[in-house]
Amino acid sequence: MVLRDRDLPGHQQHAVRRPFGKDACTCRRDSDVVLVHVEFQVYRRSTCNFLHYDSTIRGDATTIYLIVSCATRSSRIDLYLAFIAQAAIKHDRFSDAVARIHTIRVPHNERLMVRCREIGKYKFIGDSLLHCRNGTWDGKTPSCVTTTALSNYTENVPPTIDFGLPTGSAVVEPTGTLAVYPGSILHLECLYTRKLGNPEWTWTSTFRRYLTGWAIATGERDLKYRLSIYYAKPLDSGTYTCTTPKGFSNSIQVRVVDVQCPVLDVPEPPLMSRIGGSRMGNSAVFDCPVGYRLEGASRITCQYNGKWSTEMPYCEKIKCSEIIIRNNALLILNEHNSTYGEKAIFTCMWGYKLLGSQSMTCERDGKWNGSMPTCQKITCPVPETPQSGRIVEQPRYTNKKQYHMRIYKVGALVRFACQPGHQLIGEAVTVCTENGTWSHDPPVCKVRCPYPGDPPHGRIAPLKFWYKPGDNIQVTCSPGYVTPLEPVKKPSCRENGIWSAPPPPCRSYKEV
């Protein structure tokens, strides 16, 4: 299978072809070993090249496969090969992962280097270097055996080996070797139940003898049988083996080596850093201030090969997606700033109101904190018709539905009037406003008698437009005129808004 740059891990599409060569080995396992997707680079030269892909290997496996590759065909140096085959996987009983089918197909004469994923937690059984020859593997098929920490500290399994560094640093190489920086203090912990007896530490280094014994800290003294290497030196390199009283053993490879990575430059703002050094095992931690998103790894580590685990990250200003108003001419985007902490502010066209929040804020996750509002037509309720009154003018409706539903939009005008014998108290005209209410309260129609008019050659008093029930009027005649001499009751406004009598006439003296 030939993979170009676009086909490397992280991309979705892969162009599958048959492996090079007539024969190919299919690696099939029924143990705790899990096969994972691996890549190796093909070089023009025919020599074997050990390539490390510890940062690209994937899967929930307890085994990592590294490839020793020989060029089988001439190829561009920027091409990658990945060989796929079927392999049935059986997970150990301590794994809660669902069994899956992983595949690796290896061409004839290729080699695989194998180890357990977490050093010390499993014991490796079999050959670490497998050679594919004529469709079969040369070497004992490998497997990973669980240890005490993974089996409730039973005495019938190999011991777990853990490690700690009070000072100094260390990293695990792809081969499974623990690379330790010179001068470090390294504690190798053999995990075994103390009441079952004392394990025994042995080592291949002849440089010096090492202190061994049970840890003294509470919580550790009954489980950790320790070997300590103080101020490690290159001559301390070798294999360290812990053997239980039952004869089960587990080993860890230690290599003391002085490896330095290129010194990291202090990054410019806004990227913030805490650089712990540039020697093997040292890390640099990065972060960004509020309003920025860290693009890349927050921690990078100096590896065994003198290279940083990944490139230095950078800070990218947090931005939310652009707001696009589609098919909604009623909604207006008044302000729009899509950077972190800023807002988008909305309004509606005249005559419409917002349903929802007037604004949205861009949050630190690059998403707006709400949804876009919508616009709804503003209407006023049907105005109340005053008692003994009527509505004499209403807005024009564009369709029968609006007429029957009595819909009053913003700007609609309504005029009121009273029945005869009534006076309109309040505003005769009201308008539907933008807040969905009428500009004035409905008026009131009160019983009143209208101005009766002056009789000829006279005038009435008091002079008013409207008279309340019970009001009386009298007539004053012009010079040369008088009202009748016989007693006449003053006209009075009745409760029904009708005068009890018309104003008395004014007569000339000649007629009296």
459 against 79, higher pLDDT: 459
- Please spell the DSSP secondary structure of 274-287, one letter per residue: EE--SBTT-EEEEE
Q: How many Å apart are CA 418 and CA 387, to the nearest integer?
A: 8
Is residue 325 a part of any domain in this protein?
Answer: no
Split at pLDDT 50, 70, 90, the class of 178 is very high
Is residue 179 a part of any domain in this protein?
Answer: yes
| Confidence (pTM) | 0.55
Is residue 64 a part of any domain in this protein?
Answer: no
Q: Are 500 and 434 found together in one domain?
A: no
Q: Are 239 and 194 found together in one domain?
A: yes
pLDDT the model gives residue 397: 59
pLDDT the model gives residue 85: 25
User: Structurally, how many domains does the chain consist of?
Assistant: 6
Q: Are 31 and 106 found together in one domain?
A: yes
Distance of CA 264 to the CA centre of its chain: 31
Q: Which of 205, 224, 256 is the last residue of a domain?
A: 256
Domain holding 356: CATH number? 2.10.70.10
Q: Are 438 and 452 found together in one domain?
A: no
Which of 8-17, 149-158, 207-216, 474-483 is predicted least confidently? 8-17
Is residue 167 a part of any domain in this protein?
Answer: yes
Q: Per mean pLDDT, which of 165-179, 236-250, 349-363, 474-488 is the most reliable?
A: 236-250
Q: Are 358 and 458 found together in one domain?
A: no
Residue 191 reports pLDDT greater than 50: yes
How crowded is residue 165: how many other Cβ atoms within 10 Å of its Cβ? Answer: 16
How crowded is residue 329: how many other Cβ atoms within 10 Å of its Cβ? Answer: 8
Q: Are 312 and 338 found together in one domain?
A: no
Which of 2-6, 220-224, 395-399, 414-418 is predicted least confidently? 2-6
Is residue 261 a part of any domain in this protein?
Answer: no
Kind of pairing between the strands at 101-102 and 87-88? antiparallel
> What is the average pLDDT score of the chain?
78
pLDDT tens-digit series, residues 361-408: 999 888 999 888 989 999 999 899 999 999 887 766 555 555 556 788
Q: Are 455 and 435 found together in one domain?
A: no
Is residue 455 a part of any domain in this protein?
Answer: yes
pLDDT the model gives residue 147: 94
Split at pLDDT 50, 70, 90, the class of 424 is very high
pLDDT the model gives residue 130: 77
Q: Are 313 and 423 found together in one domain?
A: no
pLDDT the model gives residue 139: 73
Is residue 401 a part of any domain in this protein?
Answer: no
Q: Per mean pLDDT, which of 8-12, 19-23, 307-311 is the most reliable?
A: 307-311
Q: Are 46 and 124 found together in one domain?
A: yes
Q: Are 220 and 306 found together in one domain?
A: no
Q: Are 277 and 347 found together in one domain?
A: no
Split at pLDDT 50, 70, 90, the class of 114 is confident
How crowded is residue 244: how many other Cβ atoms within 10 Å of its Cβ? Answer: 23
Q: Are 46 and 120 found together in one domain?
A: yes
Q: Which domain holds residue 45?
A: 20-55+98-146
107 against 408, higher pLDDT: 408
Split at pLDDT 50, 70, 90, the class of 52 is very low
Q: Which of 447, 475, 450 is nearest to 461 (CA)?
A: 475
Is residue 195 a part of any domain in this protein?
Answer: yes
Residue 423 reports pLDDT greater than 50: yes
Residue 97 reports pLDDT greater than 80: no
pLDDT the model gives residue 116: 81
Residue 184 reports pLDDT greater than 90: yes
CB contact at 8 A, 52 and 66: yes
Alpha helices in 227-353 (DSSP H): none
pLDDT the model gives residue 313: 95
Look up residue 307 and give its DSSP letter: S
Which of 325-334, 393-402, 443-452, 484-493 is predicted least confidently? 393-402
